[in-house]
Chain A
Amino acid sequence: MMLNGSQIFIESLKREGVDVIFGLPGGVVLKIFDALHQQSDVKVVLTRHEQGAGHMAEGYAKATGRPGVALVTSGPGMTNIVTPLADAYMDSVPIVVFTGQVPTQLIGNDAFQEADNIGISRPCTKHNFLVRDVKDLARTIREAFHIATTGRPGPVLVDIPKDVSINTAEFDYPETVNLRGYDPDPGDDKTLITRAAEAICQAKRPIIYVGGGAVFSNAADEVKALAEIAHIPVDMTLMGLGVFPASHPLSLGMLGMHGSYTANMAIHNADLVIAVGSRFDDRVTGKTSEFCPKAKIIHIDIDPTSIRKIRDIEVHIPILGDVKAVLTELTQALKVSIDGNKKDLREPWWNQLHEWTEQHPLTYSQSDDEAIKPQYVIDRLYQLTTEKDPIVATDVGQHQMWAAQYFKLEHPRRWLTSGGLGTMGFGFPAAMGAQEAYPGRLVLCVTGDGSFQMNLQELATAVLYKLPVKIVIINNHYHGMVRQWQDLFYEGRYASSHLSGLPDYVKLAEAYGAVGLRATSPSDVDQVIQEALHTDGPVLMDFEVSRSENVYPMIPAGGANHEMLLEDPPHLGQAATSSVEAPETVTLS
C-alpha cells in the first residue's frame, strides 16, 4: 500500500495502539495535522502550549502504563517541549515525542524555525531519531515505541522533516525490531537471588525500600508478597507511592528528605536494605557516607547504570533484572527457606518501629479560629475522595510533599508527580493526560499558587475537551518551598519568594469557562471539596492557607537520615514575622 508520510505516521500509531496524541501545529507539521483531521481513530488534543502537551503525554503514560504521544512543530515547538522530555527522562516515563523539522534539503541552513532537535534533545531522551527518508518512517516509529516502553522506560524523540511527511512509500509495518545494540532485558542471576533469600532469612532489622521501578514493572502484588511472606516493613520513595498500600500494617510511608520519622529511622538502623526499583537519589540518602551505616544492601534494578552508581554506597547483592521477575523468584526461594519464625526474630525491630511512630507520628494541628492549614486541606481531600480511588497529580513544592504525606494511596499509578527534575507546571497538564485516558475517574491536581501559573493556559484545553480535573490550589502566596529554605537557611530573607500579583483564581477559572471556588477558613474546606465533587467539568478550588507553614519532618540537605528537623526551630517565628516584612499581596481583579 503506497502512503504518504503523514498517512504512514497515522497508520503506525494505530499499530502501536495509540488512541490520542497531544499537540500543537505549525508549518512543517501541517501535512500531518491535516491527515489527522481526516480520520477519527487517533484523537488529537490541541493544547495551548507544547509544554502542556508533553506533560499530558507523561500523565497519560504514568496513569496507564502505555506510552504517551505528543506532536509539535519545529523550532519553538520543539524547544517548548524540552522540559517534559527532561522530566520524562529523569522519571523514566515512556513518551514518544514527534517533532517537525524543516525539509531535508534545508537542514543546516538556519532555515525558518529550524532547530537542531536531535542535538538539543540528545541528553534528555533515551534515544532520538531523525527520519531522512519516508521509507524509514514506519520502522523508526516501531523502534521508537519499542525503546520508550522496554527496559527502563523513557522518552524518545522522532524528528520528521516536512518532505518526509509528504513523500510516499510502501507502507509495511515491521512486526519485529532489530536493534543489535539494545538489550532491554538483562535477565537475572539465580545465585544472587539465592544469596538475597539467605540474607533476608538472617536479617533482624530488614527494610524494603521500594521505588518507581516497581510501579513501571507492575509489581505491586510481588512487592506485597515479599513484604508479607518475610514480614518486612516497607519504605516508599516519592516515585513509589501507591505501589504498596499506605494503610497496610507493614507500610512505614515515604522516606527521604520529607519522609516520615519512622521510615527514615528504619532505613538508618536497618541491618538489611532491599532496594526494589529505586535509585538512591540524594533526596533519599541524604549524606551518602552515613546512609544506612549498619546495613547490607540488596539492589534490584533493570538498569546497570543505577546499580553501584553512588560512590559511598556499597551494594552487597546487586541483582540486575525486572522487579516483577526477580521478586517472583525471590519470594519463591523464600517460601522454601523461610522457617516461619521470622516474626519472633524480628519482634524487637517491630517494637522499635512502633515506638518511633508513637514518639513522632506525622501530625499537624488545626483549630477553627486560625487560617486553614495546608495539611488539613490534603487530609480532608483524602478523607472525602478516597472511596473513589482517585488519581492524584501534584506540582512541585510544599504542597507536593504534604500530598505525599497525607494523601494515602492504596494502589499504584494513582500518583503523578515530578520527582527527579522537580518541574513546576507538571501537575495540571499531567492530570489532564490521565483524565483523557480515564474519562470516568476522579482526577485531582494538588498544586501551588506558584506552580499553577506555569501551565494555567491549559484551563482552556480542559474546558474544551471536557476534562473534569479537580484542581486544588494550596494558596500560600509564596513559593512556599523556597520560603521554607529561606526561613531555615537564609535567616528569613525572602528573596524573590513572595508571590505578589496573584490573580483572583476564582475569576480566572470563570474567565476560561470553568468553575472557581474559594475557601478561606477551615469550616469552608469540606463544603468546597464537596461542591467541586458534585460539579461537572473542571473545577478550580482556591484554598487560602496559612502562609508560614513548613513541611516536616525535614532532613536538611547533606544531613544523614536520622538527623531530622521535626518542627520549626525556635528562632523561626521571629525571623519570619518580624525581621522581614513580606509585602502585602496585591490581588489583580
Chain B
Amino acid sequence: MDVENVEREHIISMRVENRSGVLARVAGLFSGRGYNIESLTVAPTLDATISLMTIVTKGDARIIEQILKQLNKLVDAISVVDLTERAHIDRDMAIIKVTTTPETRAEVFRIADIFRARVMDSTNTMYTLEVTGPGRKVEAMIYQLRSLGIEEVIRAGRIAVAREPYGADTT
C-alpha cells in the first residue's frame, strides 16, 4: 500500500484527434476531477489529423491509474501512454532573462556555459539565455541563476518520446 501512496511525476503522451475542443476536453477532465497538470503541450504530428499532447502530472499510483483510464475514455483520444513506465527521453526549453551587474556577468555566463545554454540576447544589464534539456537540467539551471537575479522565465513545457517503438500495449 505504501508504494501506492507515494506521489510521483508522470509524463503522459497522448495522440488525439486534431479537432477543435479536444484541448478543452482534456483540460476539463483534469480540473473537473481535481487532478494536477504541471505542464501540457500540444502540437500537430506528421499525420495532419492527429495532434500529440504531452502532459506532465503528479499523483500516487491510484490517481495516475484513474487519469490514464479517464484520458483513454475520451472519444477523441487515439492512444494514451504513460512514458514514466518505460525508457524515455524528455526535453524542456526555457528562455531565461537574467539581470546582470558588472560583478555578476561573468558568473552568469559561466553557468550558461555549464548548462550549454545559448545567449540569445545581451544588453548592458541583461542576458537572455536559451536552455534546452531534460526537465531536471532546466530546473537546475534556473535554480542556480536565481540568486543572481532572474527577471523572467518562459518555459515551453515538456515534450517526451519513448526510446523504443510503442508496443501492442498502446491503447
Q: Does B70 contact A (CB under 8 A)?
A: yes
Residue among B32, B73, B76, B78 with most chain A CB within 10 A? B73
Contacts of A311 in B (CB 8 A): 62
Contacts of A119 in B (CB 8 A): 24
Q: Kindly provide the distance from the CB of B25 to the nearest chain A CB, expressed in whole angstroms.
A: 6
Q: Does B69 contact A (CB under 8 A)?
A: yes
**Interface size on B (CB < 8 Å)?**
20
Contact between A181 and B69, CB atoms less than 8 A apart: no
By secondary structure, the A interface counts as loop
Can you list, as one digit per residue, whether each of B49-85 has a CB less than 8 Å from chain A (1) or not (0)?
A: 0000000000000100110011011111110000000
CB < 8 Å: which of A123, A179, A309 contacts B75? Answer: A179
CB < 8 Å: which of B21, B28, B66, B78 contacts A309? Answer: B66
Contacts of B74 in A (CB 8 A): 181
Question: Which residue of chain B has the shortest Cβ distance to A180 in the bound complex?
Answer: B78
Contacts of B77 in A (CB 8 A): 181
Q: Does B112 contact A (CB under 8 A)?
A: no
Contacts of A181 in B (CB 8 A): 16-17, 74-78
Contact between B28 and A304, CB atoms less than 8 A apart: no
Can you list, as one digit per residue, whether each of B6-33 has a CB less than 8 Å from chain A (1) or not (0)?
A: 0000000000110001001100100010
Q: How many A-B residue pairs have CB under 8 A?
A: 35
Q: Does A147 contact B (CB under 8 A)?
A: yes
Q: Does A182 contact B (CB under 8 A)?
A: yes
Can you list, as one digit per residue, whether each of A294-326 has a CB less than 8 Å from chain B (1) or not (0)?
A: 000000000111001101000000000000000
Given A119-B24, A122-B25, A123-B32, also A147-B66 (CB < 8 A): no
Q: Does A127 contact B (CB under 8 A)?
A: yes
Residue among A119, A181, A305, A309 with most chain B CB within 10 A? A181
Q: Does A464 contact B (CB under 8 A)?
A: no
Complex: how many Å from CA A130 to CA B25? Answer: 14
Q: Does A227 contact B (CB under 8 A)?
A: no
Q: Does A118 contact B (CB under 8 A)?
A: yes
Q: Kindly provide the distance from the CB of A547 to the nearest chain B CB, expressed in whole angstroms.
A: 39
Contact between B66 and A127, CB atoms less than 8 A apart: no
Contacts of A122 in B (CB 8 A): 21, 24-25, 28
Contact between A308 and B28, CB atoms less than 8 A apart: no
Contact between A308 and B62, CB atoms less than 8 A apart: yes
CB < 8 Å: which of A118, A182, A305 contacts B70? Answer: A305
**Interface size on A (CB < 8 Å)?**
19
Residue among A130, A180, A182 with most chain B CB within 10 A? A180
CB < 8 Å: which of A123, A303, A308 contacts B73? Answer: A303
Complex: how many Å from CA A311 to CA B74? Answer: 22
Contacts of A123 in B (CB 8 A): 28, 32
Can you list, as one digit per residue, whether each of A104-132 has a CB less than 8 Å from chain B (1) or not (0)?
A: 00000000000000110011001100100
Complex: how many Å from CA A119 to CA B21? Answer: 9
Given A182-B75, A304-B73, also A118-B21 (CB < 8 A): yes
Q: Kindly provide the distance from the CB of A164 to the nearest chain B CB, expressed in whole angstroms.
A: 16
Question: Which residue of chain B has the shortest Cβ distance to A186 in the bound complex?
Answer: B171
Contacts of A179 in B (CB 8 A): 75
Given A123-B28, A181-B16, also A308-B75 (CB < 8 A): no
Contact between A147 and B21, CB atoms less than 8 A apart: no
Q: Kindly provide the distance from the CB of B109 to the nearest chain A CB, expressed in whole angstroms.
A: 48
Q: Kindly provide the distance from the CB of A8 to the nearest chain B CB, expressed in whole angstroms.
A: 21
Contacts of B76 in A (CB 8 A): 181
Residue among B66, B75, B171 with most chain A CB within 10 A? B75
Can you list, as one digit per residue, whether each of A196-209 has a CB less than 8 Å from chain B (1) or not (0)?
A: 00000000000000
Question: Which residue of chain A has the shortest Cβ distance to B67 in the bound complex?
Answer: A305
Contacts of A127 in B (CB 8 A): 75
Contacts of A308 in B (CB 8 A): 62, 65
Contacts of A303 in B (CB 8 A): 73
Contacts of B62 in A (CB 8 A): 308, 311
Contacts of B32 in A (CB 8 A): 123
| Residues of A163-200 contacting chain B, CB below 8 A | 179-183
Complex: how many Å from CA A34 to CA B72? Answer: 40
CB < 8 Å: which of A182, A183, A304 contacts B69? Answer: A304
Would you list the 3 A-B pairs with minimal beta carbon distance, nearest first?
A: A305-B69, A304-B69, A127-B75
Task: Please report B residues at the A interface, Cβ cutoff 8 Å.
Answer: 16-17, 21, 24-25, 28, 32, 62, 65-66, 69-70, 72-78, 171
Additional pairs, 8, CB under 8 Å, beyond known A122-B25, A122-B28, A305-B66: A126-B75, A181-B17, A181-B74, A181-B75, A304-B72, A304-B73, A305-B69, A309-B66
